[in-house]
Amino acid sequence: MLAFAVAGGKLVRRKALDGVRPGARWFDDDVDGRDVPAGEWWIVDGAEGGVNHVHGLPEWGVTVVLVADGVPRLAVVRQPLGDLTYTAVEGGGAFRNGTRLRVSAKTSLDAAIATASQAGNGREVHARFGRAVAAMSDAALLVRNTIPTTFPLLGVAAGQYDVFWQYEPDLPGTAAGTLLVREAGGVVSDLAGRPWRPTSPDVLVAAPGLHSAALGVLAGVPA
């Protein structure tokens, strides 16, 4: 069982994970960015969504993901409010409190709820994001912007949202969330349609019946 401590920042009891995967090392995205070397790495955010916690919102918690050779293989997200635990192992499905998750079965973008996560990436990224929201708003039923990255991705995995995208995505939330979505039956790529990797400049996640249409909308947004 994983044990976590969160107190005013990112504090994680590494002892709870040390030895679970002999040879796995610890990757600090705050220091090393998103360029995860070969091998197995634990990537942890011990206080994800701190701004939400401070403002009394429920979308905060702890994210743990094991990345091997650039691919997320295991993810656990613990959301204290609501007593929710999300888990996924590559090839083993995605679950919330033990119940299997499935992405949306929608096939029409005009019936879809699209969500994104964009904050703190600079003026040019914000301007591009604004253009993307405008374009997606013309195509989808509804567009939302939610931080941190993990929680809208959990919503896609659970079929509550249908599409998610982000420019310059953060590593812990995207790595964990994309694994959960893939294991729930969703499609994950960058905005050029290539498989998402930790170094990808952007990410698009969607139900399989909507990914192509969403990619067509967002690929046409100028940088």
Domain spans, the chain: 14-100, 109-219
C-alpha dihedral, 153 to 175 to 182 to 83, nearest 10°:
-50
Domain 14-100 has CATH 3.90.1150.10: no
Taking only the tens place, the pLDDT of each residue in 6-26 is 433 344 456 677 778 888 998
pTM of the model: 0.91
> Phi, psi (5° rounding) for residue 77?
-125, 125
Q: Which of 17-26, 168-177, 197-206 has the lowest mean pLDDT?
A: 17-26
Residue 103 has pLDDT above 80, yes or no: yes
Selection from 131, 119, 135, 121 nearest residue 201 by Cα: 121
Distance CA 24, CA 40 (A): 5
Specify the DSSP class assigned to residue 196.
P
Query: Would you state the CATH architecture of domain 109-219?
Result: 3-Layer(aba) Sandwich (3.40)
For the chain, the straight-line distance linking the first and the last C-alpha, in angstroms and rounded, comes to 44
* Residue pair 177/72 in contact by the 8 Å Cβ criterion: no
